[in-house]
Amino acid sequence: MQKTITRFSAAFAALLAVGFAAPCRAQAVHDKGSAPHGGTVAKTARYQFEVVFRSDGLSVYPSAPGRGPIDVARLTGTATFTVPGASRPSAYRLATQPAAAGKAAEALAVAVDLSKVQATGAEVSFEVSGLPDPAERVATFIVPFATGDRGSVAFNSATKSDQKAIAAQKVCPVSREELGSMGTPIKAARGGSTTFLCCAECEKKVLADPDKFLPAAITSSKATKADEKAVAAQKVCPVSGEELDSMGGPIKVSRGGRSVFLCCAACLKKVQADPDKYLGTAPGTGASGGPRGR
């Protein structure tokens, strides 16, 4: 009998270790370079994920230690909110976050109103699938919900993984000097938006007017039932002029606190190319309450 119990205990322990491993929880980050977007970092066995919460959604930036950012084009994921007092968790699908012109997509994101979510005790469970390492194709981790100071700007020295983005941007938006002409460029990040500066002196002007140099990132997702009234009020796509339901269901595009609905993915590209034209004047949807499951 003792021998049987011993064998069962060993097998059960192995099952717990392999089959029921708990999701990794976010770690406190003291190295600013570990969170270049000013978010919260969670580490799994082979990856690192920086999560940035905003009033209009969230972004997840995956990377591999020693190898830099991961191509998010083939990744999918979900974010599940657990809020004290809520009757059930709310789950959202993550999609590739559109990148600025000349920059590669580096985040998964979802557009959802988070302005009224109770921060105390709330947490978000993530699952990211399609990762390149065969030993960890799917990563799960938990991050406490905290929007933090949305106006804060993080400054870090640019790295090798930023070279393509620097080459595409070419000049500092503050001084108009060529990037690299005054040493290693500085990467300025605010939420999901980034830009590169030529020197530390330019940091002061970015801090003085962050909205000018680091506008909120653009996020997109399929419209949900919670958006029905806003879709009905807008009626037509601002890009094509077609009815919003004419091409398979509206797409919700958001930047900062403003949102607009489009008829199709082709129109999304035009909004990404000229966001000020469509998100600067398009009617916002307004607050829609806390996050709601799809």
**Which residue would you say has higher pLDDT here, 19 or 232?**
232
- Count the helices and strands in the chain (H runs, E runs): 7, 16
pLDDT in tens, 12-71: 444 344 344 556 665 444 344 467 777 888 999 999 999 988 878 889 999 998 888 899
Residue with tokens 């590669």: 104
Domains in the chain: boundaries? 22-144, 154-213, 223-279
Write the pLDDT tens digit of every residue in 72-95: 999 999 999 998 888 899 999 999
Q: What is the pTM of this model?
A: 0.51
CA gap 2, 8 in Å, rounded? 10
Residue type, 225: K
Q: Please give the CATH architecture assigned to the domain spanning 22-144.
A: Sandwich (2.60)
The 10 Å CB-count burial string (b at 16+, else e) for 247-263 is beebbbbbbbebbbbbb
